[in-house]
Every structure is written in C-alpha cells, then in structure tokens.
C-alpha cells in the first residue's frame, strides 16, 4: 500500500467497520439486570430512587406521592483502550493481520459494562445503595412513620430449600405504605462454579428422588465475571421498567485514530494509533428487586 493520507483514511474506514460490526454483534448480559439511563452531565442524582408507585382507591382528594429525598449520585467515569500499528506493516500490506485485533477491541468495548455491573453485584454486600445501607442488607428501612426494616439478603448455600426461601422473601417485600409491591423473581444469577447446582435446581424433573417443585420458576444466568464470588448467588425481578441496577451512559464507545502524516506518532515513531474512548458508569437501582446470598453458612446435617 502506498502510504499517504488518503490510504491511511481508507484504512481507518475499514477498521471502523470491523470495530462497529464486532460491537453490534457481541451479546451482553448487563441489560438483564440494569436499566440504561442517558446522562447529559458529569454526574446524575437519582432523587426518586426507592419509589415504586402503587395505585390506591380514590377516596376524598388525590393523595400526592411525595418523593423521599435521596441524594444517590452516580458519577460518570472515562474509559479507554489504545493500540498501535507500525506504518511499515501497512505499507507491506500486512494491515489485514490487525483486523481481528480491532474487532476484539469492539468486543471488549461492548462487554466492558458487563464487567462493571457484575463486579458491583459481587460487592453488593459491602457497597451502599440509595438508602444508606448495603445493597444486600437485612436493615433496609421500610420508610413511612415507623422504624420497620426489611431484608434482601441471606447466607445459605444454594439448594432447593434456600432458593424457595429467597423467592418467598422477595415476594413479601412491601413499600412504605406497607402494601405488597407485587415482586416476583424471574432470574437466578450464579458464578460458573455453581452452574451445575443451578441447572439441576431449575431444570431437573427430580431432585434426590423427589419431584422438583422449583423447576422452571426462573431463568438462569451464569456469569464468568462472578468467578471470584463462587459461593454467592442472586435472585432478581427483571420484568419491570425499573431494574435492580443502573447503567448510566454519557458517551458511547467510539473508535478514533491518530493517522495524519504530521502527527508525532507517525512522524517520529512510524506508527498509527487507534483508540477507544467511552464515558459511563454503573450503580445500584432498587434493592427491592434483588436478593443476594453470601453462601457462607455451614449446612446442618439432616437425620
């Protein structure tokens, strides 16, 4: 290839096509538990977080639902991925060798929100959500005039009994009016180490010779990013407009380059630089739509 500005620009067009194709075709898991919220500023405050609207009988005047003032802020973060290609490789028609690398950059950019979301999920027993306690906690304030608290956490290992208990616990969560929020879990999330246990729990006809009453009660998601949290397992209600997590997007991932003949990297180092920039972050949504177990409790012997 003759190296000039036209050929370098044409190469960028080809690499951009490979990047965009990989980005669009790469499947991701974070939308299953996180709602995407566009962001127009450096950070966004979710003052409404914690409110789940609930219809009531109209007696007398309308009852305006007052938003509890929560100062839950998600600050956008900036991410990048950069690589370089020697100009001589382009001149010697070796640029096609780098197309898979550019495609892999597109895959990495698309999957990165998965990494952020499930890292936050794994640390959900420590990180605080909008109400000032850990996302998975047994001390979530119910709100209203009393001091009642509710729980969305446990410590039992994943089995038929603990799974049924978790489902029941989620479905009995109430709002500040002390009325049911009609939450029904539909997704079980586990680390790869618990895949076999989870599949038996949800898909087997029989467990230990008895009818499996939990069969088909949830979908299953096995998440490689949770491998550092092997014992933890989670239940989610994902069919509502508000979800347990927030993916806040300020700038979509985009491939850019420094390929002008008078750019320092080309002039001095004989290299073309390609890079990705994106701005976003993840945060907690409604704890009411999630249940987490540490899986650390010792199982008691039966018999």
Closest by Cα among 177, 121, 97 to 291: 121
CB 221 within 8 A of CB 264: no
Assess contact for 230 and 194: CB atoms under 8 A.
yes
Cα–Cα distance measured from residue 254 to residue 118, given in angstroms and rounded to the nearest whole number? 23
Neighbouring residues of 120: CB distance < 8 A, sequence distance ≥ 6: 127, 245, 282, 283, 284
**Number of folded domains that form the chain:** 1
pLDDT of residue 158: 97
Q: What are the tens digits of pLDDT across the range 139-148?
A: 999 876 677 8
In a domain, 59, yes or no: no
Dihedral angle, C-alpha 217, 36, 22, 277, nearest 10 °:
-150
pLDDT grade, residue 64 (50/70/90)? low
Is residue 154 domain-resident?
yes
Average pLDDT, the chain: 89
This prediction has a pTM of: 0.88
Q: pLDDT band at 87, cuts 50/70/90?
A: confident
Determine the Cα–Cα distance for residues 246 and 222; give it in Å rounded to an integer.
Answer: 20
CA 159-165-171 angle, 5° bins: 135
Residue 231 confidence (pLDDT): 97
Could you tell me which of 158, 186, 279, 282 has the C-alpha nearest to residue 225? 282
- What pLDDT shows up at residue 160? 96
> N- to C-terminal Cα distance for the chain?
77
Of residues 49 and 14, more confidently modeled: 14
pLDDT of 66 higher than 70: no
User: Residue 147: inside a domain, yes or no?
Assistant: yes
Tell me the residue range of the domain where 222 lies: 5-52+66-293
Q: What is the CATH number of the domain that holds 17?
A: 3.90.1690
Task: Specify if 303 maps to a domain.
Answer: no
Q: What is the predicted pLDDT for the residue at 303? A: 47
The reply to whether 17 falls in a domain is yes
Least confident of 53-57, 177-181, 247-251: 53-57
Look at residue 210 and tell me whether its pLDDT is greater than 60.
yes
DSSP assignment string, the chain: ---SHHHHHHHHHHHHHHHHHHHHH---SGGGTEEEEE--SSEEE-TTTT---------SS----PPP----EEE-EEEEEEEEEEHHHHHTT-GGGGHHHHHHHHHHHHHHHHHHHHHHHHTTTTSB-TTSSBSS-S-EE--SSS--EE--EE-PPSSHHHHHHHHHHHHT-B-TTS-B------EEEE-GGGHHHHHHHHH-SEETTEE-TTTTSSEEEE-GGGGGGTT-EEEE--SSSS-SEEEEEEEEEEEEEE--TTSHHHHTT-EEEEEEEEEEEEEE--GGGEEEE---SPPPPP-
The verdict on residue 299 lying in a domain is no
Residue 38 lies in a domain: yes
Order of strands, sheet of 271-284, starting from the edge strand that comes earlier in the sequence: 34-38, 245-258, 271-284, 77-86
What does the alpha-carbon distance between residue 253 and residue 272 come to, in Å, rounded to a whole number?
20
What tens digit of pLDDT does each residue of 217-259 get? 999 999 999 999 999 999 999 999 999 999 999 999 999 998 8
Across residues 200-226, what is the average pLDDT? 96
The percent of residues in the chain predicted with pLDDT above 70, rounded, is 88
Q: Quick check: is 58 in a domain?
A: no
């Amino acid at each position: 290839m003759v190296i000039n500005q036209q050929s370098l620009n044409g190469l960028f067009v080809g690499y951009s096509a490979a990047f965009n194709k990989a980005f669009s075709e790469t499947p991701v898991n974070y939308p299953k538990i996180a709602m995407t919220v566009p962001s127009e500023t450096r950070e966004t405050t979710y003052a409404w977080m914690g409110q789940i609207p609930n219809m009531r009988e109209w007696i007398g005047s309308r009852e305006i639902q007052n938003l509890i003032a929560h100062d839950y802020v998600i600050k956008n973060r900036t991410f990048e991925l950069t690589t370089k290609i020697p100009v001589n490789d382009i001149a010697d028609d070796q640029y096609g060798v780098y197309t898979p690398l550019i495609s892999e950059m597109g895959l990495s950019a698309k999957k990165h929100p998965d990494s952020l979301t499930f890292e936050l999920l794994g640390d959900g027993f420590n990180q605080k959500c909008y109400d000032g306690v850990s996302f998975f906690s047994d001390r979530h304030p119910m709100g209203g005039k009393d001091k009642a608290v509710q729980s969305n956490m446990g410590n039992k290992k994943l089995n038929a009994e603990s799974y049924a208990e978790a489902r029941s616990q989620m479905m009995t969560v109430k709002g500040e009016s002390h009325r049911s929020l009609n939450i029904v879990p539909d997704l079980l999330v586990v680390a790869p180490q618990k895949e076999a246990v989870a599949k038996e729990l949800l898909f087997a006809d029989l467990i230990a010779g008895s009818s499996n009453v939990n069969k088909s009660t949830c979908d299953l998601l096995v998440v490689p990013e949770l491998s550092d949290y092997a014992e933890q397992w989670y239940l989610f209600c994902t069919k509502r407009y508000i979800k347990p997590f927030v993916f806040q997007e300020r700038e979509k991932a985009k491939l850019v380059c420094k390929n002008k003949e008078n750019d320092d990297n080309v002039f001095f180092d004989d290299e073309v630089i390609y890079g990705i920039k994106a701005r976003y972050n993840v945060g907690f949504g409604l704890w009411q739509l999630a249940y987490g177990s540490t899986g650390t409790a010792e199982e008691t012997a039966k018999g």
